[in-house]
Amino acid sequence: MKRKSQKDNVIIQILLFLLAIITLFPFAYILMIALGKNVISVNTLIPREFTLANFNKLLTNTAFSNWMTNSFIIAFSTMVISVILVSITIYVFSRLRFYWKDKLFNIILLIQIFPLTLSMVSIFKIFVELGLLNKIPGLIIINSTLASSGLIMLAKGYFDRIPYELDEAAMIDGASRIQILLKITLPLAKPMLAIVAIQSFIIAYNEYTIASAVMTTNVESLPLAVGLQSIITGQYGINWSLYCAGAVMGSIPMIILFYSLQKYFIGGLTEGGVKT
């Protein structure tokens, strides 16, 4: 039994090592291309020369700083709004009783099922009518809506596990619904709120489909995903080294966000109950 256990551990370690290589290879390859000199083809495996000039060119010859700032504003605003919307919405569906509660929850979930590409015409029309075309607030509104609707189902299961007896005890002591939400429910739901924050930030930061349709003028006002696309299809010609350099630098905010909330993120995914 002991030898079998050791053999199983060795096999698991080998499989995990292979999985790590498969997972890290794309990142290593992008970094290698970012350091390559004049890489104009995706078929290049190893660049002949390496240089840091691509990062300098990215910051001086393109509007990368503007793109990254725009994406950070959009993503951070979406994250804050989504956390607030999801917290209030899930508290209502998890704690309150009202007519058509289940049907309304199902309607919200249907937003995830409806293909985004089929709604692009409607979204574009709404942006035009409201004067939000080529404006960052428009992207914040639509990203917050889509991110919140997609994260509600994920968060509801966690909220449902928080004992309702805590709410009843607080109400007996004279606490209002708002006080219960802010001082009892949300502190217990920190791991799940961290997941909502990370996921909504990533959704907004990486969003390309809607942004490419409603942000059509002024290169400096583009979000990062659309701006980087212009490097290989627009005025900057085809320069994969420049594109990968932008991808490397653009991933820094997400890495910082994940590691700053890592303990809550892992806790939200692994906890099956709530410690009180």
Residue 16 belongs to some domain of the structure: no
Written as tens digits, the pLDDT of the chain (276 aa) is: 556 677 778 888 889 889 988 888 888 888 888 888 766 666 666 777 788 888 888 888 888 999 999 999 999 999 999 999 998 888 888 887 778 877 888 887 777 777 777 788 888 888 888 888 888 999 999 999 888 888 887 788 788 888 888 888 888 888 888 888 888 888 888 888 888 888 899 899 988 888 988 887 778 888 998 888 887 765 555 677 888 888 889 888 888 877 777 776 665 555 544 443
**Domain contains 9:** no
Instruction: Tally the domains of the chain.
Output: 1
**Residue 179, domain extent:** 66-270
Helices 240-250/53-61 angle, 10° precision? 80
Question: Is residue 140 in a domain?
Answer: yes
183 lies in some domain: yes
Here the CATH number for the domain that contains residue 171 is 1.10.3720.10
4-32: pLDDT as tens digits: 677 778 888 889 889 988 888 888 888 88
Is 17 part of any domain? Answer: no
For residue 50, report the phi and psi dihedrals to the nearest 5 degrees: -120, 145
Q: Does residue 31 sit within a domain?
A: no
Placement of tokens 């992207």 in the chain: 139
The answer to whether position 214 is within a domain reads yes
Q: How far is CA 39 from CA 43, 45, 188, 235, in A?
A: 9, 10, 50, 17
Average pLDDT value for the chain: 82
